[in-house]
């Protein structure tokens, strides 16, 4: 398993958003996005992975994840 998939898996397992992870690691949001996209790899891969592994699970649910949308009820309109 490469850095890209390991990093994303660990981040999601711990319940952090990319923005939260960037703040915890002291880096930019765009850097975390590039790591997960596979565009870039940090200089010290093992150090980053060990730091992420040592993070506790997030206390609050991740922003932007509300679950499936409720279905809208179809209105009974009469056609003229």
- The CATH number that applies at residue 12 is 1.10.260.40
Predicted confidence at residue 62, as pLDDT, reads 56
Domain presence at residue 68:
no
Average pLDDT over residues 50-66: 74
Domain presence at residue 62:
no
Predicted confidence at residue 46, as pLDDT, reads 85
Whether residue 66 is predicted with pLDDT greater than 80 in this model: the reply is no
Domain presence at residue 45:
yes
Whether residue 69 is predicted with pLDDT greater than 60 in this model: the reply is no
CA–CA gap between residue 46 and residue 50 (Å, rounded):
6
- Given the structure tokens 């949308």, which residue do they identify? 69
Average pLDDT over residues 42-48: 86
Which residues constitute the domain of residue 26? 3-54
Domain presence at residue 79:
no
Predicted confidence at residue 51, as pLDDT, reads 87
Domain presence at residue 8:
yes
């Amino acid at each position: 398993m490469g850095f890209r998939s390991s990093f994303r898996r660990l981040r999601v397992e711990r319940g952090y958003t990319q923005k939260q992870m960037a703040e915890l690691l002291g880096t930019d949001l765009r850097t975390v996005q590039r790591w997960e996209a596979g565009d870039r790899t940090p200089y010290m891969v093992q150090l980053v992975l060990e730091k992420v592994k040592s993070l506790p699970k997030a206390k609050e649910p991740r922003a932007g994840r509300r679950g499936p949308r409720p279905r809208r009820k179809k209105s009974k309109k009469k056609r003229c």
